[in-house]
Structure 1
Amino acid sequence: MSIVVSKSLPVVVRPSEPVTTARKIMLSPMDKVYCPVPARVLLAFEHPIDEPAETIKRGLSQALVHYYPIAGRLATDDDGDIYIDCTGEGVTFVSASANYAMKDIMSSIDQQPSDVPATAVLLELTVNYSAEGDGRTDPLLLMQVTMFSCGGFIVGVTWNHGFADGFGMAQFLQAVGELARQLPTPSVVPVRWDESAQVMPPSLLAAYHQSVRCLPLPNLVEQNITIPWSLIKHIRGDTDGKPSSCTMFEAVAAVLWQCRTRAVMSDDRSNAPTMLYFTVNARKYTGAKDGYYGNCTTTHKAVAKSGTVANGDIMDVVGVIRRAKEQIPEQFNKDADMAIGDQLSHWQAGYGNALLLTSWRNLGFEDVDFGGGKSSRVMSHMLNFNLRMPLCVACLPCKREQGACNVLSFCVTDHHAHAFFQQIATFFT
């Protein structure tokens, strides 16, 4: 399949009206960890709207009045501290068109493995930072709107992770959609600086800083996996109509952790520990204000013997994950004895005994609406040269899959890719 995406020259979108605000906004300790890591999201919309590129560009310009720091640039003060300089220079916007219907693009992405990896397709639908850039002079956000022959369109957003996490970016894009639909103001009042968000346990921050010193893992294979709703319901035990105590996240995490452990575990490593790391929205633990869109996530871990995860009952694996989730509040207990050395082991884990799982379920991307209805599918892509731990992005919302869990995986090398895929397939039979 030869997908041709014709792109206009990039234009700069600035706030639609002058903004008189503080010029300098400091970054939180967690923000600084993610500077200048790029993050990407693509939102698919099946129903046409009038002039999608111009409509969304207008909403973007109006949203930048309320979210004025996004139109600025990163800068460094005399002490070497990074902050957002609210220069109003704007963000990058590209209008594009594709020579296929959107369903054809989706089919190409879903038919994995294939000769054309999903990332190669999705790269055409986003604007991306130069590999040589240091993030200081780059716009904090890049947006591309691609229109398809069927009338549907995809909005691809690349942003500097240092100014917003996934929750914050979803909030911003919802505001763009509301203003594109000609609402007078965004429904959520944005907050970019919050003292509460500064309160992160020192041990967690030390672990994150350690992570950026780790060497990237080479040759991780891209795989797109769909875990069907029937399997999730079976694991949750709610096939008889009774409510289950097992969440969708726990069921999906258990499947991915068990299948990957089976695929990569050697015969003499059954007693070695294996670790599942998962991202946590820390807003309710830090007391962050409503509307805060800076970085406010942490990472927690579940630990068990490799043999227990690989060979145990799937509900036992769910139990390990659930117990780890129950311990999350302890990270924010000032009286808790949290050893930094233990947290640093977070990033001393290697390819064979660790998996990082981030869930995009309920971030809010699925609620973005530019005028033709909410997004029908949420996608992402990444370049695996900067991955420092095997990774799965799970629970990517997709309406047409009727509850199925879509997973973007960079968690195994080519040597283990077939075995991992086969282990996933065994759950379907």
Structure 2
Amino acid sequence: MLALAAQRTHTMTGAAVAKSWPVVVVPTESGQTTTPPAGHTVALSSFDLCMLPFPMKLVLAFDRPVHEPVETIKRALSRALDHYQPVAGRLDGEGGIACTGEGVAFVAASASCALEEAMATLQQMDLTVRLPGVFCLDADPLLLVQVTVFSCGGFVVGVTWNHLLADGTGIGQFLGAVGELARGVSPPSVAPVRHWDDALRALPPTSVAAQRSTFDNNGPRYLVRHDVAVPLSLVSRIKGESGCTAFEAVAAVIWRCRTRAVASPDDSPAPLCFPCNVRALVGAGAGYYGNCVVGQVVPATSGAVASSSVADLALLIRRAKENVPDLLSGSGSDGEAAPPDDGGAQSGAQEAPLQWYDGIGVISWVNLGFDAADFGGGGAARVMWHEDRTLLPGCMVCPPCRGDAFNVSSLCVKPEHADAFLRELDLLGIQY
């Protein structure tokens, strides 16, 4: 495992990043452990099993220096593993996580420039630990962390995790605990919960199969990366017209721009898929950090999406959210909820089998606590999805942090559709 990355220097966009050899961070064995203890096995839930072992990558940029950020975060990470024993474990190959205490991978790195100089090009910099394969293996660490210190004292925390371990809410909670421990708060304010019995309500088997099939498409494709900024003023206007949430407004904007750019025939399917946190619906205890989301689909045709107002599309997304409880009961014939009634605008949207490029997935990282993670100098100045490949065309809606726009990390169009996508963004006053 320690051969994950040799010591090396990458020069990207004029900035050099020197990386140390990876080391393993293990629990401190302080005795301040929470359940399940070391040596136990946590069974993956039906929500975990909806996911593929795909590595998710998160970058948190901090422009306010802290004392010795590498050592501070490394020590706090070790202490956090006392409370989150499964994070330091390994997949057992039989549908569970063995709490082996083998630890997580940790890389210290340094950048040759100031963080402010690199803020616009962080996506092109080597700020996360990359696994050698497309998917995580059972023997791989479930979590990999890189701390890169910039010449100004600012730093970036890059987090890679196996999606079978946790969803975004779970990782946000874990990073919050690392931050508290780095600041001297012990134990963490949120007691972690990981059910290793049948306490969590299970998804119907038909729903598990339907959810997993959304992603099981023979691996990721490489699409054009765009980092766009959807102005808060635009989001507020859409919210005022439709009564929607900020996420629904941003998702509707990207959905329409992308659909118009691809310009498929009017009767072609152009669905939107988005995950919903269902902890409150399935009996997950406070502090539960495993996967607990289901993916909802808004079926629609290309013509209907392209010709609709953004506000109307936001309402479609809202109505689909209201149907999420049906996914948990398996009330649909294939485990999917019935599409919302839109007066026939989506007629024919699912008559043909969906191909991987037909639709788009939009995920929100806005309310997961990523921007609130604080290792001693305050919250993050920037939150980013640090990826160059994806299982299906999609984008990540990231919190505004200290800006006046929602940052959207997008991998949703092929090169031949990139210019048209940017033109559609321009028409709405969206920067990229």
Matched residue type, 2:359: A
Matched residue type, 2:285: K
Structure with bigger helix share is 1
Deviation at 1:177, TM superposition (A): 0.7
User: Who is 2:234 aligned against?
Assistant: 231
User: Who is 1:115 aligned against?
Assistant: none
1:91 to 101, 104, 117: 104
User: Who is 1:72 aligned against?
Assistant: 89
1:313-334: CA deviation from partner (whole Å, max 9, x where unpaired): 2222222222112211222246
Deviation at 1:217, TM superposition (A): 5.8
Matched residue type, 1:298: V
Q: Is the 1:224–1:407 contact (alpha carbons within 8 Å) kept by the matching residues of 2?
A: yes
Look up the SS of the partner of 1:17 in the other structure. coil
Deviation at 1:55, TM superposition (A): 0.7
User: Who is 1:108 aligned against?
Assistant: 121
User: Who is 1:29 aligned against?
Assistant: 46
User: Who is 2:165 aligned against?
Assistant: 163
CA distance in 1: counterparts of 2:403 and 2:116, whole angstroms:
13
Q: Is the 1:224–1:406 contact (alpha carbons within 8 Å) kept by the matching residues of 2?
A: yes
CA distance in 1: counterparts of 2:360 and 2:116, whole angstroms:
32
Q: Is the 1:264–1:352 contact (alpha carbons within 8 Å) kept by the matching residues of 2?
A: no
CA distance in 2: counterparts of 1:382 and 1:347, whole angstroms:
30
Q: What is the alpha-carbon root mean square deviation over aligned residues?
A: 2.3
2:320 to 312, 321, 324: 324
CA distance in 2: counterparts of 1:16 and 1:347, whole angstroms:
54
Matched residue type, 2:223: L
Alignment of 1:21-420 (within 5 A): 21-76=38-93, 81-109=94-122, 118=123, 120-121=124-125, 124-131=126-133, 135-193=137-195, 195-216=198-219, 218-237=221-240, 245-266=243-264, 269-333=265-329, 336-340=331-335, 348-384=353-389, 387-394=390-397, 396-402=398-404, 404-420=405-421
CA distance in 1: counterparts of 2:60 and 2:357, whole angstroms:
33
Q: Is the 2:201–2:283 contact (alpha carbons within 8 Å) kept by the matching residues of 1?
A: no
CA distance in 1: counterparts of 2:382 and 2:89, whole angstroms:
30
Judge which range, 130-139 or 197-206, deviates more: 130-139
1:90-114: CA deviation from partner (whole Å, max 9, x where unpaired): 11111111111111111224xxxxx
1:166-202: CA deviation from partner (whole Å, max 9, x where unpaired): 1001101110111111112011111111634351132
Deviation at 1:371, TM superposition (A): 0.8
C-alpha spacing 1:353/1:9, structure 2 compared with 1 (3 Å): closer
Q: Is the 1:36–1:135 contact (alpha carbons within 8 Å) kept by the matching residues of 2?
A: yes
User: Who is 2:7 aligned against?
Assistant: none
Look up the SS of the partner of 1:401 in the other structure. coil
Deviation at 1:376, TM superposition (A): 1.7
CA distance in 2: counterparts of 1:356 and 1:346, whole angstroms:
20
User: Who is 2:4 aligned against?
Assistant: none
In structure 2, runs of 5+ residues without a counterpart are 1-12, 32-36, 339-349
C-alpha spacing 1:18/1:36, structure 2 compared with 1 (3 Å): farther
C-alpha spacing 1:162/1:337, structure 2 compared with 1 (3 Å): closer
Matched residue type, 2:116: K
Deviation at 1:230, TM superposition (A): 1.9
CA distance in 1: counterparts of 2:359 and 2:175, whole angstroms:
33
User: Who is 2:9 aligned against?
Assistant: none
User: Normalising by structure 1, what TM-score?
Assistant: 0.87
Q: How many residues align?
A: 401
CA distance in 1: counterparts of 2:288 and 2:352, whole angstroms:
28
CA distance in 1: counterparts of 2:253 and 2:262, whole angstroms:
14
Q: Is the 2:357–2:392 contact (alpha carbons within 8 Å) kept by the matching residues of 1?
A: no
User: Who is 1:10 aligned against?
Assistant: 22
Q: Is the 2:110–2:150 contact (alpha carbons within 8 Å) kept by the matching residues of 1?
A: yes
User: Who is 1:114 aligned against?
Assistant: none
C-alpha spacing 1:163/1:322, structure 2 compared with 1 (3 Å): same
Look up the SS of the partner of 1:197 in the other structure. coil
Q: Is the 1:211–1:347 contact (alpha carbons within 8 Å) kept by the matching residues of 2?
A: no
Q: Is the 1:67–1:190 contact (alpha carbons within 8 Å) kept by the matching residues of 2?
A: yes
Q: Is the 1:42–1:157 contact (alpha carbons within 8 Å) kept by the matching residues of 2?
A: yes
C-alpha spacing 1:246/1:408, structure 2 compared with 1 (3 Å): same
State the identity as a percent: 44
Matched residue type, 1:278: F
In structure 1, runs of 5+ residues without a counterpart are 110-117, 239-243
CA distance in 2: counterparts of 1:346 and 1:200, whole angstroms:
26
CA distance in 2: counterparts of 1:50 and 1:348, whole angstroms:
55
C-alpha spacing 1:216/1:140, structure 2 compared with 1 (3 Å): closer
Judge which range, 93-102 or 31-40, deviates more: 31-40
